[in-house]
Amino acid sequence: MEVFSSANVMFMLGGFVKTLEISALSIFFSLILGTVLALVKAYAAKPFSLLVSAYIELFRCTPNLLWILFIYFTVKGSDVFISTLAFTIFTSAVMAEIVRGGLNSIPQSQFEAAQSQGFGFFATMRLIILPQTFKTIIPALFSQCTTVIKDSSYLAGINVAEFMYTSKVVMAKTQSLNEVLLVYGFVFLLYFALNFGISLFVRAYQRRQVAA
């Protein structure tokens, strides 16, 4: 079938790889920035905490696509850089709330015990609190990962050659409805397999935690 020639399939898979690259980078940097934002909101002086709260609410109450377009028209750089930046500034607000929820789940006795052993704030966070926090938020973290992967399809709107864009290019080469539907099915299967795999991992992790 012409639409599934080796060249077309490799072209679409190249887009899928770019989707994975952008998603992984965005999640990585979002988690770092989100952790910093969560710590500032939870423990910094009130003016800084309020600034972080405003940042979080700004991005949580506006569409991701809006910021993708804003970054696209205002920032110079490669497709990967622009895409990663847009997703990072948006997703970090969500990550901040996830991390803050994890911080709130840690008993106060953990902080008191660390203080009694002479640990400073940063040592307490790095060695005691954050490791427990990240362990707690793994299900929510991976749920957000699937959201980032799915939302990466918005990048097709700014001509980033991710999976949805490359698939649309291939679909444009045919006038056959059946072939178009087959390409949609191919896109569906790869997105579903990736995100369902993440979902299965989270369920297995939760079962192990309950069993422990």
pLDDT band at 34 (very low <50, low <70, confident <90, very high): very high
Query: What phi, psi does 109 have (nearest 5°)?
Result: -60, -25
Both tokens assigned to 164: 């949805």
| Terminal-to-terminal C-alpha distance of the chain | 51
Q: Identify the CATH number of the domain defined by range 2-211.
A: 1.10.3720.10
pLDDT of 110-135, one tens digit each?
888 888 888 888 888 888 889 889 98
Both tokens assigned to 155: 């990048």
Mean pLDDT (whole number) for 181-195: 94
Residue 179's alpha-carbon distances to 116, 153, 167, in angstroms, are 68, 21, 12
Q: Where are the domains of the chain?
A: 2-211
The pLDDT value given to residue 81: 96
pLDDT band at 91 (very low <50, low <70, confident <90, very high): very high
The pLDDT value given to residue 209: 77
CB 129, CB 104: distance < 8 Å: no
Half-sphere exposure of 50 (CA within 13 A, CB side): 3
CB atoms within 10 A of CB 136: 19
pLDDT of 47-72, one tens digit each?
999 999 999 999 989 999 999 999 99
Both tokens assigned to 82: 């622009």
Residues 6+ apart with CB under 8 A from 51: none
Both tokens assigned to 212: 């422990």
The pLDDT value given to residue 162: 95
Across the chain, what does the average pLDDT equal? 91
The pLDDT value given to residue 12: 95
Query: What phi, psi does 99 have (nearest 5°)?
Result: -65, -40
Higher pLDDT, 31 or 108: 31
Distance CA 60, CA 80 (A): 23
Alpha carbon 199 to its chain's center: 14
The pLDDT value given to residue 1: 61
Mean pLDDT (whole number) for 16-24: 96
